């Protein structure tokens, strides 16, 4: 299957959208490079779907503009935008077979029967559904439906591929398998993808870049590592992975944020740059090790230890040293 | 509820497997079953026997139907008028259903009233209103000539256009309602997916919306066609001789020709056609679709208008939908103000308003008597049908699964079989018993017509009733009677009341049974109106129509208030 290896760049400038009094998008600006896998991450109601619908053209914007490859697509009707979309509930046409679903967009483009057949076969092969062309959507499992939706969106060779929580309805094992497939697929076709999820692990796993959204705004956009290790504020730090908020120590004012895997306990903490005293509250076995929850001056601090760490065997209430290296401490302006 | 067994102290353990203890299923089913047998099956079977020859088996009547050109043409007219009505109803329903699905909730509820109000207003009143609107010196012709658009009155009624207008108006809601449900059941994302793949508005309609809403439209269309082939009063009043349909032919053969055998043969043909459509309908859609719209979105967002607004095609469709809504409400909008006029000549809008014709209505003994008699008959048949229908519904829920589908089908048959057949059959059965010309005969007939409505609504309420509540009550030591009174009855009461309201309207609006089963001393309001409309429409008839509309609005408002409270 020949999907162009050139996705188009997208520029979103000051987009606003309100539903009556409720502001769904509050001045969104974002640049997405060609071929980039960009994820919109945020809690439910943060405006992710609304932004995606504005990109696709299903909703109008109150202000701002969206440029694809430098051209404002505001006046372009949905049917001419050449944007692929995978809906959260897949939105397969229930009265058409898998093959007819995938062929639909090609038929709209007036391709010849032979060409359509060839491309549909190619798209179904790409998502490993070769034998399912004659089935109806209701005869497929959730994961298969999801792949049909993906094939249907990809087969038109879209300038941008939009995906709205496409794995939301699948169980965990299947989700992980498809995440891997999505990564491989993106590497193979190099399309510009705008992906929506509320699952931070999924976002970290898939994305070249993550835009974290909250209440209609983008709080921080950047590479997964940047967001994880250099969060712009407490909200970002708390949203992506776990975070301990610990007094800065050494008599300094304020607090710093330290990831649990960077938080040291007992022996390991003895040589740390910053050390604090605390009491063990509880210890939970996680398989790879233990999660130790410590009370540090009234704050709850979580640390992860190896399974052979003696600290984990201390009874609750025991005194323990908590420590961290200064380079692992994240500080925020606010 | 004399049938109830008191079983105090029934152990919880014994109850678990058998919720059927208490009222035995057969005892609930029996009363309605017997009534159906005596005053539905027997008269219809009488007719069938007559159709195949009084003495010895003969197909003479059927051969006559097939061979005499005029009868053949009546059959053809019946089919073609029903077909045209069905097509018109479907074509007109689409823009209206689209409009209803794509407006704000407030406008939507206005549109729902616009559909439901005429739906529940007596067909006779609506037919009367259309005649007033469309006749030679009617409202429409006066407007057309007043504005100089035409110089001669156009004949809209007593011809094909009259029948089609009247019948489409009466039957269209059967398509609008399921179609509206189908539109609401459309997943917005499915439509958007098609657009995103490059489909324009017309393609989206043809390839996505049309196929996905077609089952709803189909269900409605079959109900319309099934009703249309047996329709009597609208074609009789609004058509000309060329529009004689089979129901009218049956009536004529009894009242004018006194040819019972031939009328029975015609009835048999009509019955067979109706039952055939019914069986097909049931096979495709199931019984539930007969009353409820069905539908509902699978997880997604329901089809609606997004912030992009309508396309030009959408605007055009919405405008057509608005016109159809206007068509539906027009008779009521025009007739009701007219009934408040004071001039002895029909005029719209009235030059000045008064209650003169209402006063005349209540001062004239024939009108007042007919009105009171209608209420009397309705009271009797509502009471009987509520008891029969409720018992039957409860009884059925306690009957083995094997018999349920069959009984359920049999119990709704009076809704399916054309009223003209029941009327002729009951006339034949009741005449020798001296029941024709009494309100009792009519009340029995109305009970047969109305009980299916109670049965269906109570059955729906019972399906929603959690059987565990019954078990819990019994487990806590309540006997069946106490359980019924304190737990089940409150839960199914809204269903019973809704059924009672449908039953009331069914009885209060009936013309066809009244035409055959009452005489000049026992005639009901609709029958008196019918006689007037068939001759000449005077202002008191319009007041009577206004009164029926008011009663309908009042009854529907009660229904609405009761369902709100829940
Ligand atoms: N059609 C709509 N009408 C009114 N409010 C809406 C509509 N769609 C979304 N919203 C509101 O806009 C905000 C953002 O919604 P959405 O974009 O769906 O969030 P997300 O996809 O991140 O969960 C929410 O507060 C939501 O209630
Ligand atoms: Mg969303």
The protein residue with its alpha carbon nearest to ligand 1, atom 13, reads A24
What count of Cα atoms within 13 Å lies in the side-chain half-sphere of residue A18?
8
pLDDT of residue A254: 75
The answer, yes or no, to whether residue B285 has pLDDT greater than 50, is yes
The protein residue with its alpha carbon nearest to ligand 1, atom 11, reads A24
- Give how far Cα B274 sits from Cα of B225, B270, B419, Å: 9, 6, 12
Contact check, Cβ <8 Å, B189/A104? no
The protein residue with its alpha carbon nearest to ligand 1, atom 7, reads A19
Q: From 3.40.50.300, 3.30.365.10, 3.40.190.10, 3.40.50.720, which CATH number describes the A10-237 domain?
A: 3.40.50.300
Contact check, Cβ <8 Å, A156/B194? no
State the burial class of residue B272 (Cβ atoms within 10 Å of its Cβ: 0-12, 13-18, 19+). Answer: exposed
Ligand nearest to the CA of A55: 1
pLDDT of residue B8: 38
Identify which of A59, A93, A108 has the shortest CB distance to residue B190: A93
Confidence label for B295 from pLDDT (cuts 50, 70 and 90): very low
Q: What is the largest CA-CA distance in chain A?
A: 76
- A58 vs B contacts (CB less than 8 Å): 192, 195-196, 306, 308
Confidence label for B562 from pLDDT (cuts 50, 70 and 90): confident
Strand order in the sheet with A83-86: A83-86, A160-164, A192-197, A37-42, A209-214, A217-222
ipTM score assigned to the predicted complex:
0.86
Identify which of B190, B196, B203 has the shortest CB distance to residue A78: B196
Contact check, Cβ <8 Å, B308/A104? no
- A109 vs B contacts (CB less than 8 Å): 198
How many contacts (CB atoms, under 8 Å) link A and B? 75
Which of A24, A28, A87, A196 to probe ligand 1 with, by most ligand atoms within 8 A of CB? Answer: A24
The answer, yes or no, to whether residue B17 has pLDDT greater than 80, is no
Q: Which long-range contacts (CB under 8 A, 24 or more apart) does A280-289 make?
A: A280/A311, A280/A314, A280/A315, A280/A316, A280/A317, A280/A318, A280/A320, A281/A316, A282/A316, A283/A312, A283/A314, A283/A316
Rounded CA-CA distance A156/A147 in Å is 15
Contact check, Cβ <8 Å, B298/A89? yes
DSSP H or E stretch at residue A285: strand A274-285
pLDDT of residue B3: 35
Confidence label for B9 from pLDDT (cuts 50, 70 and 90): very low
Domains and CATH numbers, chain B: 25-50+69-341+353-565 (1.10.3720.10)
pTM above 0.90, yes or no: no
Distance from CA of B285 to the nearest CA of A (A): 17
Q: Dump pLDDT digits (tens) for B75-97.
A: 999 999 999 999 999 999 999 99
What percent of chain B is modeled with pLDDT above 70?
93
Q: Dump pLDDT digits (tens) for B427-483.
A: 999 999 999 999 999 999 999 999 999 999 999 899 888 888 888 888 888 888 888
pLDDT of residue A2: 43
Rounded CA-CA distance A154/A228 in Å is 31
pLDDT of residue B290: 62
Confidence label for B566 from pLDDT (cuts 50, 70 and 90): low
Q: Structure tokens of A37?
A: 């896998």
Name the residue in chain A with its Cα closest to that of B298.
A89
Ligand nearest to the CA of A166: 2
Within chain A, all domains assigned CATH 3.40.50.300 are found at: 10-237
Say whether residue A80 is in contact with chain B using an 8 A CB cutoff: yes
Ligand nearest to the CA of A19: 1
pLDDT of residue B14: 40
B58: CA distance to ligand 1 center in Å?
72
Within chain A, all domains assigned CATH 2.40.50.100 are found at: 244-328
Regions in chain A scoring below 70 on pLDDT: 1-6, 249-251, 333-334
Contact check, Cβ <8 Å, B192/A104? no
pLDDT of residue A150: 94
Rounded CA-CA distance A264/A322 in Å is 6
The answer, yes or no, to whether residue B10 has pLDDT greater than 60, is no
Contact check, Cβ <8 Å, B187/A104? no
Residue of A19, A58, A149 best to disrupt the B interface, most CBs of B under 10 A: A58
Confidence label for B301 from pLDDT (cuts 50, 70 and 90): confident
Identify which of B190, B307, B308 has the shortest CB distance to residue A91: B190
pLDDT of residue A5: 52
Strand order in the sheet with A289-296: A264-265, A319-324, A274-285, A289-296, A299-306
Q: Which residues line ligand 1 (CB under 6 A)?
A: A 19, 22, 24, 42, 44-50
- B197 vs A contacts (CB less than 8 Å): 79, 104-105, 108, 152, 156
The answer, yes or no, to whether residue B12 has pLDDT greater than 90, is no
Q: Does the A244-328 domain belong in CATH 2.40.50.100?
A: yes
Q: Dump pLDDT digits (tens) for B500-519.
A: 999 999 999 999 999 999 99
Q: Dump pLDDT digits (tens) for B516-549.
A: 999 989 999 999 999 998 888 888 899 999 999 9
Rounded CA-CA distance A271/A273 in Å is 7
- Give the mean model confidence (pLDDT) for residues B120-143: 89
């Amino acid at each position: 299957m020949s999907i162009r290896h050139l996705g188009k760049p997208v520029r979103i400038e000051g987009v606003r959208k309100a539903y009556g009094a409720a502001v769904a998008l509050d001045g969104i600006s974002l640049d997405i490079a060609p071929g980039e896998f960009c994820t919109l991450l945020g809690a439910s109601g943060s405006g992710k779907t609304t932004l995606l619908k504005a990109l696709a053209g299903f909703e109008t914007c109150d202000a701002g503009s969206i440029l694809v490859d430098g051209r404002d697509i505001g006046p372009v009707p949905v049917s001419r935008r050449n944007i692929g979309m995978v809906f959260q509930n897949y939105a397969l046409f229930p009265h058409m077979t898998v093959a007819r679903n995938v062929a639909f967009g090609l038929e709209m483009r007036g391709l010849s029967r032979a060409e359509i057949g060839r491309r549909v076969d190619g798209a179904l092969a790409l998502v490993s559904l070769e034998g399912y062309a004659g089935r109806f959507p209701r005869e497929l499992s959730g994961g298969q439906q999801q792949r049909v939706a993906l094939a249907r969106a990809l087969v038109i060779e879209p300038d941008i591929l939009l995906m709205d929580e496409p794995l939301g309805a699948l169980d965990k094992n299947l989700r992980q398998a498809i995440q891997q497939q999505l990564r491989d697929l993106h590497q193979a076709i190099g399309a510009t993808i705008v992906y929506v999820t509320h699952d931070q692990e999924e976002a970290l796993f898939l994305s070249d870049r993550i835009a974290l959204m909250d209440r209609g705004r983008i709080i921080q956009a950047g590479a997964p590592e940047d967001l994880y290790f250099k969060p712009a504020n407490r909200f970002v730090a708390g949203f992506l992975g776990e975070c301990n908020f610990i007094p800065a120590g050494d008599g300094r004012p304020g607090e710093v944020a330290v990831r649990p895997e960077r938080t040291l306990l007992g022996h390991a903490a003895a040589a740390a740059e910053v050390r604090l005293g605390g009491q063990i509250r509880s210890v939970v076995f996680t398989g790879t090790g233990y999660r130790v929850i410590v009370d540090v001056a009234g704050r709850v601090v979580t640390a992860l230890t190896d399974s052979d760490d003696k600290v984990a065997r201390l009874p609750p209430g025991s005194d323990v040293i908590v420590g961290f290296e200064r380079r692992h401490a994240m500080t925020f302006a606010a | 509820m004399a049938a109830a067994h008191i079983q105090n102290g029934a152990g919880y353990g014994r109850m678990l497997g058998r919720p059927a203890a208490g009222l035995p299923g057969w005892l609930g089913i029996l009363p309605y079953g017997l009534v159906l047998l005596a005053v539905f099956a027997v008269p219809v079977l009488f007719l069938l026997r007559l159709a195949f020859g009084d003495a010895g088996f003969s197909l003479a009547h059927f051969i006559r139907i097939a061979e005499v050109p005029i009868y053949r043409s009546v059959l053809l007219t019946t089919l073609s008028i029903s077909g045209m009505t069905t097509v018109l109803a479907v074509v007109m329903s689409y823009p209206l259903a689209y409009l209803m699905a794509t407006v704000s909730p407030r406008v939507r509820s206005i549109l729902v009233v616009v559909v439901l109000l005429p739906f529940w207003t007596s067909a006779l009143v609506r037919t009367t209103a259309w005649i007033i609107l469309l006749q030679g010196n009617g409202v429409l012709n006066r407007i057309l000539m007043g504005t100089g658009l035409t110089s001669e009155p156009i004949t809209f009624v007593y011809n094909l256009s009259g029948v089609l207008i009247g019948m489409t108006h009466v039957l269209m809601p059967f398509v609008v309602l399921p179609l509206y449900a189908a539109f609401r059941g459309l997943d917005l994302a499915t439509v958007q997916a098609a657009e995103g793949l490059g489909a324009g508005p017309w393609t989206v309609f043809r390839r996505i919306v049309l196929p996905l809403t077609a089952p709803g439209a189909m269900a409605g269309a079959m109900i319309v066609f099934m009703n249309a082939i047996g329709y009597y009063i609208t074609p009789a009043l609004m058509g000309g001789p060329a529009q004689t349909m089979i129901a009218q032919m049956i009536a004529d053969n009894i009242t004018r020709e006194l040819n019972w055998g031939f009328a029975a043969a015609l009835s048999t043909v009509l019955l067979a056609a109706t039952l055939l459509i019914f069986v097909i309908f049931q096979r495709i859609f199931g019984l539930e679709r007969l009353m409820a719209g069905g539908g509902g979105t699978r997880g997604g967002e329901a089809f609606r208008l997004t912030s992009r607004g309508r396309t030009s095609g959408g605007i055009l469709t919405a405008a057509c939908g608005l016109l159809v809504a206007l068509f539906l409400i027009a008779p009521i909008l025009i007739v009701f103000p007219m009934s408040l006029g004071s001039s002895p000549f029909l005029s719209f809008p009235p030059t000045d308003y008064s209650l003169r014709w209402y006063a005349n209505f209540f001062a004239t003994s024939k009108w007042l008597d007919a009105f009171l008699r209608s209420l009397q008959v309705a009271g009797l048949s509502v009471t009987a049908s509520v008891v029969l229908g409720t018992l039957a519904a409860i009884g059925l829920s306690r009957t083995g699964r094997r018999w349920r589908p069959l009984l359920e089908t049999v119990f709704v048959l009076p809704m399916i079989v054309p009223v003209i057949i029941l009327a002729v059959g009951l006339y034949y059965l009741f005449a020798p018993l001296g029941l024709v010309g009494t309100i009792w005969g009519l009340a029995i007939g109305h009970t047969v017509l109305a009980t299916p409505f109670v049965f269906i609504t109570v059955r729906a309420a019972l399906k929603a009733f959690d059987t565990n509540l019954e078990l819990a009550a019994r487990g806590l030591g309540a006997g069946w009677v106490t359980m019924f009174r304190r737990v089940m009855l409150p839960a199914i009461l809204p269903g019973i009341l809704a059924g009672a309201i449908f039953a009331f309207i069914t009885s209060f609006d009936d013309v066809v049974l009244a035409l055959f089963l009452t005489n000049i001393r026992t005639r009901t309001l609709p029958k008196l109106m019918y006689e007037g409309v068939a001759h000449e429409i005077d202002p008191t008839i319009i007041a009577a129509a206004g009164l029926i509309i008011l009663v309908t609005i009042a009854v529907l408002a009660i229904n609405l208030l009761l369902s709100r409270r829940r």
